[in-house]
A = this chain, B = another copy of it.
């Protein structure tokens, strides 16, 4: 293995000895389960029960405290009530334990300040001693490679463990157990099942990084409520990408109510959900919606399929199954392959006259009479050069059908083509035989086709070149020299810069800013009109009034000097009436284009610079046709995201209009991201709305800008 190993969690993941503080004789109590599991699942290290009130626990000699143990254990499990936990942690730290899993609840996950303070004291104590602390409020860690099951989850009694290529890391104990159960039910082995609880010291991201470094891991599943250290997760994602290990994550708290519930559950930090989406996208993490969605594509990933093409071939013994598959495929962006004429001719020789020879291929109910049809048809389809993906729908089968043979034929087919192949069979009696034959099989055909789409889309996402890798520099790592530069952000009276300061800063950054002049007299306004006309815009230039159009401080489309002078007077008087600091009046040419778009930059406290791409204008917030990107990103990535907006058809050109200059707009988006990376310490936000995007080749022009400095 060429990767450098981060060993700080080695004591938790592969301990050579474990103490259980609060060990219980009852294997179904929190302090009893881990002891039982370590014995049962073949842990070969030494285990020391610590319990002051008993001489033996589950048949083993017990110790009154950590200090009296015959050796310093690598790992300690703390399974005592909340009020006894800090003392137990302190005892472990004093003894030199390398990692402690604190299962006790009643700390940071409550809303009580004293409970949070107690948690912080435990962390401080651990850090001072160089001990890693996992939890509190955790079900624990489990590594089935070495049987180190330091967990009290019930699921390991219900569903027998088997070591395998999957790692599960979750902030919730239950939501580590649920995907474990679902993955095991599919017959897949699971090595790591780790719950990080309150993430007080060791975080979910730390743990994700540790499992990505395990060469036996080939798929990582995460359940996240609060992402405190996105940089670490980004590092884990970068390493996973190098190792071709897909990461799939549920980030709960998608909605306001969900985030509120998460706060009261684990004291989670709330991040706007669209930032989470952008972050996952930037780092190639696939976002799942729930636990079933989290595991849905597991077999496809583990088969090693990494398809480039997206053309789907559907084969079924039911025309209706084919119709619904065509619907789902179109909705998922998987075009149906158009079969070669030669393929259709070969199919015609095998199938009844009333069967559909085009894709979706309908074998029809004739399969009941001729069990060989399935096996005869598949090799024909496999040879078709247009096929990238296969969906086999077995609508109904059973008595009278040779289902074993179908399953064998399907598995042989998938092996022969090497192309992603999924089966849907609503009857478990039928589906189980396909699963046993090694073909990924789903009860619901919608799920089957969506899994194919996820595989294709996730693979494509992981192939987007990351800019950070070009410089050899992990993203967001500020200890490295900055690649991106920007001039200093000017200082104003408050955090908001005036329009002219905002525009001049952006121009200095190389952004396509409208030509403008700041005028303080009628004579200057007249002069500006002569230089910038034939039609101009006037607007007040006060930093104190960001929403100028709502205060009638903007006058559009002025033609003729008289109109300009009159408007200059109106705007000046309006500013005086509002009592706002008068930074002059901006005169700029009236720009027309294909569409008003917008860009935004915000510096998120945890996630850093985030660029928003949006349809622009006065209703930006109300219509909310926008998406977010994590810089640095390329023009191509910006265009891909822009083209997912609802406004996209207009940008492509409709009703005889030329397309808009998307390239120039996206270049501005890229540059805005670079400004965010370079000037991050000085910036809070930049709003550019509208940006007038002209016809293709004619550019995009920022006509309105608001820069907000970071509060010192």
Contacts and interface: CB of A to CB of B under 8 A. Distances in A.
A364 B265 CA distance: 10
Contact of A252 (B110, B260, B323): B323
A225 interface: yes
Interface bin, chain A: 35 or more
A172 B172 CA distance: 44
Interface stretch (A161-169, A214-222, A289-297, A490-498): A289-297
Interface string A196-212: 00000000000000000
Nearest to A651: B622
Interface stretch (A57-65, A398-406, A507-515, A704-712): A398-406
Interface stretch (A234-242, A298-306, A355-363): A355-363
Contacts of A324: 250, 252, 258, 290-291
A399 B157 contact: yes
A230 interface: no
Nearest to A400: B28
A327 B252 contact: yes
B398 A655 contact: no
Interface in A267-304: 289-293
Contact of A396 (B153, B265, B327): B153
Interface stretch (A414-422, A441-449, A458-466, A571-579): A441-449
Interface string A549-560: 010000000000
Nearest to A255: B330
For A155, A323, A446, the residue with the greatest tally of chain B CB atoms inside 10 Å of its CB is A323
A265 B319 contact: yes
A172 B654 CA distance: 40
Given A265-B319, A291-B444, A327-B254, A369 B29 contact: yes
Interface in A21-73: 28-30
A105 B330 contact: no
A323 B354 contact: no
Contacts of A360: 261
B655 A618 contact: yes
B105 A292 contact: no
A189 interface: no
A174 interface: yes
B365 A426 contact: no
A270 to B, nearest CB: 11
Interface string A137-179: 1010000000000001111011100000000001111110110
Given A110-B353, A330-B255, A656-B550, A365 B320 contact: no
Interface stretch (A88-96, A519-527, A642-650): A642-650
Interface in A70-95: 82
A326 B260 contact: yes
Contacts of A395: 174-175, 177-178
For A153, A289, A291, the residue with the greatest tally of chain B CB atoms inside 10 Å of its CB is A291
A265 B320 contact: yes
Contact of A650 (B159, B547, B622): B622
Contacts of A329: 257
Interface in A363-413: 364-365, 368-369, 395-401
Interface string A323-336: 11111111100011
Given A290-B445, A319-B109, A623-B647, A257 B327 contact: yes
Contact of A326 (B158, B257, B326, B647): B257
Contact of A158 (B181, B362, B398, B618): B398
A106 interface: yes
A325 B291 CA distance: 12
A255 B110 contact: no
A292 B448 CA distance: 13
Copies in the complex: 2
Contact of A258 (B327, B364, B429, B622): B327
A15 interface: no
Given A154-B397, A401-B154, A446 B323 contact: no
Contacts of A153: 396
A158 B399 contact: yes
B109 A426 contact: no
A253 interface: yes
Interface in A430-489: 443-446
B354 A255 contact: no
A649 B619 CA distance: 9
A354 B264 contact: no
A232 interface: no
A356 B398 contact: no
A323 B225 contact: yes
A262 interface: yes
A664 interface: no
A323 B427 contact: no
Contacts of A364: 105
A426 B178 contact: yes
A139 B365 contact: yes
Contacts of A152: 365
A446 B354 contact: no
A266 interface: yes
A321 B175 CA distance: 8
A517 B581 CA distance: 50
B291 A261 contact: no
Nearest to A369: B29
Contacts of A665: none
A397 to B, nearest CB: 7
10 contacts: A30-B369, A154-B396, A158-B427, A174-B320, A175-B320, A258-B327, A290-B444, A291-B445, A292-B426, A292-B444
Given A159-B427, A618-B655, 12 more contacts: A110-B353, A155-B396, A177-B396, A253-B327, A258-B327, A261-B319, A265-B322, A290-B328, A290-B446, A292-B443, A292-B444, A625-B646
Interface of A: 28-30, 82, 105-106, 109-110, 115, 137, 139, 152-155, 157-159, 170-175, 177-178, 181-182, 223, 225, 250, 252-258, 260-262, 264-266, 289-293, 317-331, 335-336, 352-354, 356, 358, 360, 362, 364-365, 368-369, 395-401, 426-427, 429, 443-446, 547, 550, 618-619, 621-623, 625, 646-647, 649-650, 654-656
Q: Which 5 A-B pairs have the closest CB atoms?
A: A172-B320, A265-B319, A174-B395, A28-B400, A174-B318
